[in-house]
Amino acid sequence: MSDGSVNVESRTSSQDKRWTIMAALLGTNTAVMLFQGIEQESNPKFIREVALTIIATTIPFQGIYFLIYTFLLENDGKLSDEMMDRLQIASALCHVVAYFSLIGLIALWYSMSQMVGIAFTASAIIAMVLVRVSMHQSKIEE
């Protein structure tokens, strides 16, 4: 491994969790955009169009999150405190905007079936709470 490469072992577990969540969200959103976009062409629905628009709006923020994350890893210890603070705020903002894609996913599931929409909404809320609790506990243990 070269001196300029990213040291995977230097990441904290909370950073890994955020990265994993964002990667899963980006993969899900990309797949949904592909398959639901094809369906929208053959069977247009207004609610699907709105949902896909919401999801499409969040994807660039997910990509920027990964760019900031990688930049911070590669420049660990080289950036001023002010620059670190700005990048961490930008990263957090991208993270929050990325979660808004769940609104589009919820709308898609509700348009297919109210029961599926309710189940997805409930499970998404529970999952987010569980992730937040586990991240909070890992910070306390450190």
pLDDT at 76: 77
Place 13 in a pLDDT band, splitting at 50, 70 and 90. low
Asked whether residue 2 is assigned to any structural domain, the reply reads no
Place 4 in a pLDDT band, splitting at 50, 70 and 90. low
Number of domains in the chain: 1
Asked whether residue 92 is assigned to any structural domain, the reply reads yes
Asked whether residue 58 is assigned to any structural domain, the reply reads yes
Asked whether residue 7 is assigned to any structural domain, the reply reads no
Task: CATH number of the domain at 60, please.
Answer: 1.20.140
Which residue's structure tokens are 């900031």?
68
Expressed as residue numbers, the domain containing 26 is 12-141
Asked whether residue 6 is assigned to any structural domain, the reply reads no
Question: Considering the entire predicted model, what is its pTM?
Answer: 0.74
Distance CA 32, CA 36 (A): 6
- The answer to whether 108 touches 36, Cβ cutoff 8 Å, is yes
pLDDT tens for residues 75-86? 877 888 888 889
Asked whether residue 1 is assigned to any structural domain, the reply reads no
Percent residues over pLDDT 90 in the chain: 39
Asked whether residue 5 is assigned to any structural domain, the reply reads no
